[in-house]
């Protein structure tokens, strides 16, 4: 079963055939639809493959893994089924954890790695609330209210951002058991020991007002990845690609074209 979708282009808009596909992995209570504006902006240069992780988005009926490594294996299987060998990889938030695991497993297949709004530790010290609290509130309130509450933390101005409703609606598609399992998967994940093995050119992207991943975790990625650059987007929170889409796209294109 297909877990992801490609952007379909008119012939005149076709990207460079020599460019590697760009795989986009969303985070917790995310989905492929969150990348729509970025995909449209990149369509003239890159083929994008935006994934819906099992249990989320349009793949909400698929059973979700219970570990970050399990999600990584699902991503690899999906790309194998599509015949995608080498590719550039972007992972956001929980998707950044998954991207690190994918890159560890199939290092030679990754051209460039972008770790965005993420870090090397799933527990996320100094997160807007501990993961255990998120689990308690998820079980008490349900997926849709949880998606709205968490989506508000993604934006500097919370629910006032024009994209808030769309992002919250994407999150509300998640299967309840997947939403629960993913919190446990993040809490159990620690990728710090594997950072030094991610030797491909890497870019760490962070909104300077991110309430999920704070600077100490971001700094660990930047300083411990063997070939990393850092881009800090001012005045942006956890959804910098939506809050500052033009800046985010320019940073991404510059890195991928290097």
Per-residue pLDDT tens over the stretch 27-64: 999 999 999 999 999 998 999 999 999 999 999 999 99
Top CATH class, 4-256:
alpha beta
SS3 87: strand
For 101-240, list the strands marked E by DSSP. Answer: 110-116, 202-207, 228-233
Q: Is the separation of the CB atoms in 86 and 111 below 8 Å?
A: yes
Across the chain, mean pLDDT equals 93
SS3 57: helix
Threshold 0.75, pTM exceeds: yes
Q: So what's the pLDDT on residue 1?
A: 24
Residue 6: predicted pLDDT = 39
**Cβ partners under 8 Å of residue 80, min gap 6:** none
pLDDT at 243: 97
* Rounded to 5°, angle at Cα 46 from 33 and 235: 60
Give the number of other Cβ atoms within 10 Å of residue 1's Cβ: 8
Task: Determine contact, residues 151/167, Cβ cutoff 8 Å.
Answer: yes
Per-residue pLDDT band at 19 (split at 50, 70, 90): confident
Backbone angles phi, psi at 226, to 5 degrees: -65, -30
Helix (H, G, I), strand (E, B) or coil at 5: strand
The H helix count followed by the E strand count for the chain is 10, 7
In the chain, where the domains are located: 4-256
């Amino acid at each position: 079963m297909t877990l992801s979708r490609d952007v379909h282009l008119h012939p005149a808009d076709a990207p460079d055939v020599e460019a590697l596909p760009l795989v986009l992995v969303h985070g917790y209570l995310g989905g492929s639809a969150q990348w729509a504006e970025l995909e449209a902006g990149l369509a003239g240069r890159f083929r994008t493959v935006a994934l819906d992780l099992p249990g989320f988005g349009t793949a909400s009926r698929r059973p979700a893994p219970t570990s970050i490594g399990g999600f990584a294996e699902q991503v690899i299987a999906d790309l194998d089924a599509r015949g995608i060998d080498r590719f550039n990889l972007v992972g956001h938030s929980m998707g950044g954890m998954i991207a690190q695991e994918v890159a560890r497993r199939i290092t030679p297949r990754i051209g460039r790695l972008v770790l965005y709004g993420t870090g090397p530790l799933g527990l996320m010290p100094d997160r807007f609330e501990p993961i255990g609290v998120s689990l308690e509130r998820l079980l008490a309130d349900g997926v849709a209210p949880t998606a709205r509450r968490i989506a508000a933390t993604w934006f500097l101005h919370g629910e006032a951002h024009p994209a808030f409703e769309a992002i919250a609606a994407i999150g509300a598609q998640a299967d309840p058991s997947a939403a629960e399992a993913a919190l446990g998967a993040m809490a159990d994940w620690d990728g710090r020991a594997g950072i030094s093995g991610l030797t491909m050119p890497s870019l760490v992207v962070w909104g300077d007002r991110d309430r999920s991943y704070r600077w100490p975790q971001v700094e660990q990625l930047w300083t411990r990845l063997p070939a990393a650059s850092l881009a800090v987007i001012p005045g942006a929170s956890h959804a910098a690609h939506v809050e500052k889409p033009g800046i985010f796209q320019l940073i991404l294109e510059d890195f991928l074209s290097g």
